[in-house]
Amino acid sequence: MADLLNPIFLDEELAREHLEALRWPNGRVCAHCGVVNESGLTASKNHKPGLYYCNACGKTFTVTVGTLFERSHVPLNKWLMAFHLMAASKKGMSAKQIERMLGVTYKTAWFMCHRIREAMTNEFGGLLGGGSGIVEADETYWGNTGKQRDGARGYAHKMKIVSLVERDGEKRSYHVANVTAETVRPILKSQVKASARLMTDEAAVYTKVGREFAEHSFVRHGAKEYARGDVCTNTVESSFAILKRGLNGTFHSVSEKHLQRYCHEFDFRWNTRMSLGFNDADRATIALKGIEGKRLTYRRIGGQSTEAHAQ
């Protein structure tokens, strides 16, 4: 499951062949015109390996064109290793650790990690709670310690995350500016079927929108009630525990502008967890398939990193 001596992590040519097999299972596809199996290796011996010439449009391309790897100078075998490490690490892996293990600079490792998170960003394929399924919703707060004025109470100064988790299914998390009925309702309505059974705590933000679902049950945490039959929010809270351990123990400091990408990363691993039949290799393969049609430039991602150098 975690074979770090796999040849695709050690040899760039084998890594390229592996990526080609993943991207083009039914034949080589031109990145420019989309024609299948109308290309071949360029005749020139001076071109790099894996450069193909399309007979249909007359343009050249490689397996990285049109992906997150386009124009990257990092060898493909190191890219594949980074994908595997981040997919296999339950609580994430810091850019400093990637830097040490791959032998790249911190700036390169930081940028690689964010590109991998972009690949892990799910294109959701339907609403949660199908067939009267149970969907748990809850919010959590993180970061900005010490930024609140002396004597003040509450969570207004912290970063806020709302998560939806289908029992024995998928998780979707959203970084929001404020946790209010106005911000929570659009998320629930756009991501959860009206026929679902919604389960929350007693927070007032869920009261009104809860009436728009087949059932809305809640537990009263203030009265130390944590489960009543199958009514609980233990699943979503378990997912928060993993997220918090990663943010605190692995990354230490995450800026608000990047928090959503970290949520995507943790959601991805939750949605491909072992209890659903996935292993580390499956997870890395699924993430690699997510590089298609995505570009993430250093300028777009926000320039210089504001994260602490996690050890």
pLDDT digits (tens, 9 = 90+) for 27-82: 999 999 999 999 998 877 777 889 999 999 999 999 999 999 999 999 999 999 99
Q: Where are the domains of the chain?
A: 134-267
In this predicted structure, what is the pLDDT of residue 2? 60
DSSP SS3 for 195: coil
Contact (CB, 8 A) for 191 and 208: no
Tell whether the model's pLDDT for residue 148 goes beyond 80.
Answer: no
Is the torsion defined by CA of 269, 275, 277, 279 positive or negative? positive
Average pLDDT over residues 117-139: 90
- Quote the CA–CA distance of 138 and 159 in Å, as a whole number: 14
Contact (CB, 8 A) for 9 and 80: yes
In this predicted structure, what is the pLDDT of residue 125? 73
The CATH homologous superfamily for domain 134-267 is Ribonuclease H-like superfamily/Ribonuclease H (3.30.420.10)
Instruction: Encode pLDDT of 223-278 as tens digits.
Output: 999 999 999 999 999 999 999 999 999 999 898 999 999 999 999 999 999 999 99
Task: Output the pTM of the full model.
Answer: 0.90
In this predicted structure, what is the pLDDT of residue 124? 66
Within the chain, strands assigned E span: 39-41, 52-54, 60-61, 134-142, 159-166, 171-176, 197-201, 215-219, 227-228, 231-232
Quote the mean pLDDT of the chain. 91
Confidence band for 311, pLDDT divided at 50, 70 and 90: very low
Residues whose CB falls within 8 Å of the CB of residue 217, separated by 6 or more in sequence, listed in order? 197, 198, 199, 228, 231
Average pLDDT over residues 144-162: 79
Query: Hey, which residues does 142 pair with through a beta bridge?
Result: 159
